[in-house]
Amino acid sequence: MKIVFLTFVILFHSILTYSLSGDNFEEKSGSIFFDGRELVLENGEDTIFFGNCFSGSSCTYSLVVSNQSDVNLWITNVRGSCGLSVPVWPRTEIYPGESATIQIRYDSQRIGDINRNLTIQANTYTGSTVLKLAGRVLQGP
């Protein structure tokens, strides 16, 4: 009886750990495209959903920027609001048909909901695009 109970506990713990780790930021990415006038998220929304992350883990997101126009895209600056940093973004022009990546990192020591803004300044019609970032940092196991 003890062996069956111990097997059940180990199996339950393994399944729980696997299901929670599947929402780690390390595997998150999305796309945004330039249509010649503005930057648009692939889903047409203005919010990037990070998902869940454990406290202390690497909370990163890769945003692939695709130029689907006949105009060169020039990103002059990318910045995040409090707790959100942008360590990597394209510093050169993105030619028509090409892509580049913006890396976003969130401070995973801040447990709770993530509601931040990412501002991309580029040669778009309005000059800047503000995207919302949503997710949650959970207490580490």
Angstrom distance (rounded) from CA 101 to CA 88: 8
- What is residue 10's predicted lDDT score, i.e. its pLDDT? 45
DSSP letters, the chain, are -HHHHHHHHHHHHHHHHHHHHTT-GGG-EEEEEE-SS-EEETTSSSEEEEEEEETTS-EEEEEEEEE-SSS-B-EEEEEE-TTEEEEE---S-B-TT-EEEEEEEE-TTS-EEEEEEEEEEESSSSSEEEEEEEEEEEPP-
pLDDT tens over the chain, length 141 residues: 545 444 443 444 444 443 444 444 345 788 999 999 999 988 888 888 888 888 888 888 899 999 999 999 999 999 988 878 888 899 999 999 999 999 988 888 888 898 999 999 999 999 999 999 998 989 876
Beta bridge mates, 85: 105
Return phi, psi of residue 10, to 5°: -65, -45
Q: Which domains does the chain have, with CATH numbers?
A: 2-138 (2.60.40.10)
